[in-house]
C-alpha cells in the first residue's frame, strides 16, 4: 500500500511510503533499483537527522555474489537466528502482499524455512488494518505482521500488544544493521516495535520513452503541468493516468502523493508537525498541497477517463493506458514499486527503453532535493521460538541482500552493498536517494489508524468534489483532534 503495499495481489504503501509504505506505503507496494557500486540501498542519517543514502564503496563497480551464494549465506544466517537448531514448527505472518510480489517476498523467506524447518504461514489481505485490529481484540493476533501501517503498530505498541525488538533482536544488532533514523521511525518511547523489511522511493513519474515527448527533468512542477495542458490542447490526449481503487484502502495513492507534495512544498519541519497532529488540516500549507495535486487529478482534460476512471481503476492497472494502441496517457505518478507492477502487466517491456521514470520536479525551491520514502515493517505480536527466529533473520544483512536481489524493493539494511541491485530502476532510485538533500518518511504511514483511513477517503472525496475541499479538510481536522486526544 507503500506506501506502500496495500493490496492482495499486488503490493501497494504508505507508505509509503509511502514514505507508504511505503509504504511504502502502504501502503503501499514495491519495485525499485539502485546505482552500480556507488551507494548502499539504505537510508542512513544525514546531517539534519533525515533519512538519506550513503556510499559504501570507492565508486568502483563491484560484482554481486551468485544467487546460490546469497541463498547459502541466508540459510546460515537463518540457522544462527534460530540458535543453531532446526527448531521446526510454524509462524503465522499477516501481510499485504499477493501475486508476483508475494512470490518474490517468499524467496526471501525460503532460506529461513529450509534452514530452520519453520513453516511461514503467510496470509495476505488488502484490509490489513481492520483484520489486524479484529484479531488483536479477539485475542487471536498473528505471530508476526508485515505492514506499511506504522501508525497502527505504534498504537498497538502503546497498548502492550507488540514485542520490543530491542529485547527480542538486540539493540546492538539493530544498530549494526539499520540507520538511527529508520530505528527511530519504528519506535515509541524506548521500545522498537518494528524493523524495516522493504523501502520504496516515492514521488516518481513513470512514462513510456517511445510515446512521451515531454520534459524528463522539468525545472518545476508548474512547468510539467504547463506541458500537460499544452499537450492536451494540441493532441486531445489526456497526459495523466490515475488509479485510486484499492479495496478497503482505496484512495491511498492520492494520499501518498499529497503527502509527498506537502513534504516538499511546505518543508520537513511543517510536515512533521502535520503528521504528529500538531497543526490543523485546515492550515494553508495543507490546502495548497491538495490543490497542487488537484491541478491534474481533478482536471477532466488531463486525466485518462476523467474522474470516474480515476476513482474506479485499481492502482495496479493505473499505468496500463500508457501502453494501449494508441496511448491514452503518457504519465503516471507512483513510487518505485510501480516499475515491477507495470513490468508484470506488460512482460515484454524493456526497462529504460519502453519504461522509465523521473523524480517529480521541485514544488518549492526552498526545499529542492528533498525526497520521500516509505516501506513495510516487521512486528512481532506473539513471542515464540519461531517468531523470534524470523525477526532475527529479517534483521540480518543476508536477508536484506535477498530483498534487494528481488528487483522489487530497496533493502533497508545498511550492510547491504550496492552491487546487489541488478534492476535498473532500483539502481536509479538509489542514485536519486544518494543525491537527495534529505529523505523523509511519508507521514500518513505514521498517523493514528483512524486519521490514515480518513486521509485515504479524502483523496477520493477531493478528486470527485474538488469544490468541497474546505469541508473535506475541516472533517479531517475533526478526526485529527479526536485521534490525538489521548
d(CA 193, CA 374): 16
d(CA 192, CA 183): 7
Mean pLDDT of 24-35: 33
Mean pLDDT of 15-25: 32
d(CA 376, CA 194): 9
In terms of Cβ atoms closer than 10 Å to its own Cβ (0-12, 13-18, 19+), residue 67 is: exposed
3-state helix, strand and coil shares in percent for the chain, rounded to the nearest 5:
45, 15, 40
Handedness of CA 94, 95, 97, 102 (dihedral sign): negative
Cell numbers linked to 426: 532500483
Residue 259 confidence class, pLDDT cut points 50, 70, 90: very high
Residue 486 confidence class, pLDDT cut points 50, 70, 90: low
Mean pLDDT of 4-33: 31
pLDDT over threshold 70, residue 377: yes
Mean pLDDT of 30-46: 32
Q: How much is the mean pLDDT over the chain?
A: 86
In the chain, what percentage of residues exceed pLDDT 90? 70
Mean pLDDT of 390-418: 92
Supply the pLDDT for residue 60.
Answer: 37
Q: What is the DSSP letter of 214?
A: S
- For residue 33, what are the β-bridge partners? 426
- Sorted by sequence, the CB contacts under 8 Å of residue 58 that are 6+ apart come out as none
Residue 63 confidence class, pLDDT cut points 50, 70, 90: low
pLDDT over threshold 90, residue 179: no
pLDDT over threshold 50, residue 222: yes
Q: Which domains does the chain have, with CATH numbers?
A: 43-201+372-445 (3.40.190.10), 204-370 (3.40.190.10)
Residue 423 confidence class, pLDDT cut points 50, 70, 90: confident
Looking at 41-45, 113-117, 262-266, which range is the least confident one?
Answer: 41-45
Give the pLDDT confidence of 82-112 residue by residue, as tens digits. 999 999 999 999 999 998 889 999 999 999 9
Amino acid at each position: 500500500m507503500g506506501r506502500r503495499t496495500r493490496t492482495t495481489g499486488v503490493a501497494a504503501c504508505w507508505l509509503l511510503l509511502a514514505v507508504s509504505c511505503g509504504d511504502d506505503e502502504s501502503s503501499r507496494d514495491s519495485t525499485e533499483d539502485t546505482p552500480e557500486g556507488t551507494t548502499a540501498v539504505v537510508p542512513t542519517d544525514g546531517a539534519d537527522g533525515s533519512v538519506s543514502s550513503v556510499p559504501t564503496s570507492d565508486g568502483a563497480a563491484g560484482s554481486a555474489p551468485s544467487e546460490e551464494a546469497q541463498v547459502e549465506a541466508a540459510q546460515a544466517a537463518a540457522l544462527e537466528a534460530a540458535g543453531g537448531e532446526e527448531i521446526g514448527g510454524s509462524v503465522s505472518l499477516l501481510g499485504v502482499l499477493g501475486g508476483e510480489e508475494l512470490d518474490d517476498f517468499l524467496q526471501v523467506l525460503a532460506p529461513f524455512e529450509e534452514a530452520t524447518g519453520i513453516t511461514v504461514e503467510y496470509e495476505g489481505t488488502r484490509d490489513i488494518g481492520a483484520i489486524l485490529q479484529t484479531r488483536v481484540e479477539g485475542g487471536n493476533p498473528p505471530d508476526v505482521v508485515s505492514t506499511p501501517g506504522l501508525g497502527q503498530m505504534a498504537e498497538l505498541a502503546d497498548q502492550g500488544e507488540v514485542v520490543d525488538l530491542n529485547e527480542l533482536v538486540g539493540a546492538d544488532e539493530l544498530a549494526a544493521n539499520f540507520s538511527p533514523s529508520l530505528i527511530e521511525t519504528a519506535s515509541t518511547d524506548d521500545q522498537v516495535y518494528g524493523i524495516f523489511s522493504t523501502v520504496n522511493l516515492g514521488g516518481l513519474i513513470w512514462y513510456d520513452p517511445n510515446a512521451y515527448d515531454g520534459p524528463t527533468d522539468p525545472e518545476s512542477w508548474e512547468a510539467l503541468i504547463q506541458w500537460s495542458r499544452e499537450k492536451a490542447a494540441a493532441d486531445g490526449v489526456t497526459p495523466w493516468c490515475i488509479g485510486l481503487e484499492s479495496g478497503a484502502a482505496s484512495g491511498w495513492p492520492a494520499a501518498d502523493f499529497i503527502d509527498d507534495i506537502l513534504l516538499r512544498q511546505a518543508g520537513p519541519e511543517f510536515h512533521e508537525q502535520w503528521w504528529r497532529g500538531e497543526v490543523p488540516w485546515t492550515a494553508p500549507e495543507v490546502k495548497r498541497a491538495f490543490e497542487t495535486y488537484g491541478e491534474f487529478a481533478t482536471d477532466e482534460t488531463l486525466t485518462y477517463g476523467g474522474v470516474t476512471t480515476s476513482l474506479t481503476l485499481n492502482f495496479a492497472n493505473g499505468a496500463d493506458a500508457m501502453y494501449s494502441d494508441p496511448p491514452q496517457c503518457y504519465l503516471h505518478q507512483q513510487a518505485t514499486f510501480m516499475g515491477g507492477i507495470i513490468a508484470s502487466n506488460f512482460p515484454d517491456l524493456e526497462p529504460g527503453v519502453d519504461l522509465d521514470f523521473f523524480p517529480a520536479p521541485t514544488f518549492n525551491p526552498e526545499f529542492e532535493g528533498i525526497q520521500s520514502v516509505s516501506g513495510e515493517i516487521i512486528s512481532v505480536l506473539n513471542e515464540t521460538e519461531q517468531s523470534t527466529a524470523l525477526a532475527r533473520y529479517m534483521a540480518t544483512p543476508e536477508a536484506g541482500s535477498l530483498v534487494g536481489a528481488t528487483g522489487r524493493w530497496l533493502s533497508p539494511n545498511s550492510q547491504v552493498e550496492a552491487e546487489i541491485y541488478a534492476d535498473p530502476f532500483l539502481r536509479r532510485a538509489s542514485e536519486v536517494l544518494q543525491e537527495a538533500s534529505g529523505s523523509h518518511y511519508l507521514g500518513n504511514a505514521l498517523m493514528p489508524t483512524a486519521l490514515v483511513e480518513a486521509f485515504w477517503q479524502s483523496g477520493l472525496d477531493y478528486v470527485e468534489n474538488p469544490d468541497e475541499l474546505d469541508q473535506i479538510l475541516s472533517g479531517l481536522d475533526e478526526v485529527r483532534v479526536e485521534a490525538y486526544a489521548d
